């Protein structure tokens, strides 16, 4: 497993600045990747600070476990286990949580991981290669209706029905076991696509999201982060596609709204309960210079919210 693949951390300065790192604070890097955000957070922590990082990818774990820093620990698992992991370490509150969602550049660029149609490789797509079904195994056993719904819901693919039908028809002859076979199959079914976009883009995205339970784990992790944050603590989330960003935006909007009150109940403004969080600024997107240096940054969106002092 290659560990030398380059990874450009997206919105590095903006995301870490949004956390307002305190030297003695406890922070969570929910998606370690190759450690770009973690390295920057540690540079601002004092001797009494702590950083707990999470990652499901064994290659990312190998990088993090090589760091010799008593303030740092990396956990092999999903950030959806955040509360359980932190409380097992005696941590009931944290000063900030950073989530950098989606797939990392090394995962896309290492052919054997099966995330990209740019290489002919085994169709795996698992972020954690030590457990769970690979994409090829799932495509071999899922029924046509399930495949159609996954591609439609997670890929927003209007040709999902035709693609699912072709997958089921072709797997009867031989398993769809490689990225090239799946990409070629989709290209033969999808009649049009946006200029410059591979016809299989949406299908690959959909299957990857489903195999790794990305949206479900995000929906589980966001309320845990809000509950763990100390008053004044920050939640910063970088998303890369509309499905993720929709979940983050809705969660932050609801958490920053006062709890609903009965209609027509006379309540003074001073007596309205404080919301759990407040939004910090507007959504942040990469500057043109960052996109020019790293085209994969073009779809990134950073949203930030802060835990209110009154709690909830």
Binding residues: 35-37, 55, 79, 100, 107
Distance CA 180, CA 164 (A): 16
Burial string for 199-236 (b: 16+ CB within 10 Å, else e) reads bbbbbbbbbbbbbbebbebbebbbebbbebbeeebbbb
**Residue 272 in 3-state DSSP?**
coil
Q: Which residues are annotated as a binding site for S-adenosyl-L-methionine?
A: 35-37, 55, 79, 100, 107
> What DSSP character marks residue 276?
S
CB 283 within 8 A of CB 303: yes
> What DSSP character marks residue 257?
S
């Amino acid at each position: 497993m290659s560990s030398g693949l380059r990874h450009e951390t997206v919105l590095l300065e903006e995301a870490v600045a949004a956390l307002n790192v305190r030297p003695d604070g406890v922070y969570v890097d929910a998606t370690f990747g190759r450690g770009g955000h973690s390295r920057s957070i540690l540079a601002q922590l004092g001797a009494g600070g702590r950083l707990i990082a999470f990652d499901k990818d064994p290659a990312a774990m190998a990088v993090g476990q090589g760091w010799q820093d008593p303030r740092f620990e990396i956990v092999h698992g999903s950030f959806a286990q955040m509360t359980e992991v932190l409380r097992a370490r005696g941590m009931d509150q944290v000063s900030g949580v950073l989530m950098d969602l989606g797939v990392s550049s090394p995962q896309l660029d290492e052919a054997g991981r099966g995330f990209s149609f740019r290489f002919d490789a085994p169709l795996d797509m698992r972020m954690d290669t030590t457990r769970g079904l690979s994409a090829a195994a799932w495509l071999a056993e899922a029924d046509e209706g399930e495949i159609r719904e996954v591609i439609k819901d997670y890929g927003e693919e209007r040709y999902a029905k035709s693609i699912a039908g072709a997958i089921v028809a072709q797997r009867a002859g031989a398993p769809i076991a490689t990225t090239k076979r799946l990409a070629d199959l989709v290209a033969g079914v999808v009649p049009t696509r946006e200029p410059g976009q591979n016809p299989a883009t949406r299908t690959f995205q959909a299957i990857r999201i489903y195999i790794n339970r990305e949206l479900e784990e995000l929906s589980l992790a966001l309320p845990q982060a809000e509950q763990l944050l100390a008053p004044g603590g920050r939640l910063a989330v970088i998303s890369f596609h509309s499905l993720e960003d929709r979940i983050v935006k809705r969660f932050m909007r609801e958490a920053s709204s006062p709890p609903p009150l009965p209609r027509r109940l006379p309540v003074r403004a001073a007596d309205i309960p404080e919301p759990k969080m407040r939004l910090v600024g507007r959504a942040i997107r990469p500057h043109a210079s960052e996109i020019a240096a790293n085209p994969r940054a073009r779809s990134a969106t950073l949203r930030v919210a802060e835990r209110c002092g009154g709690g909830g």
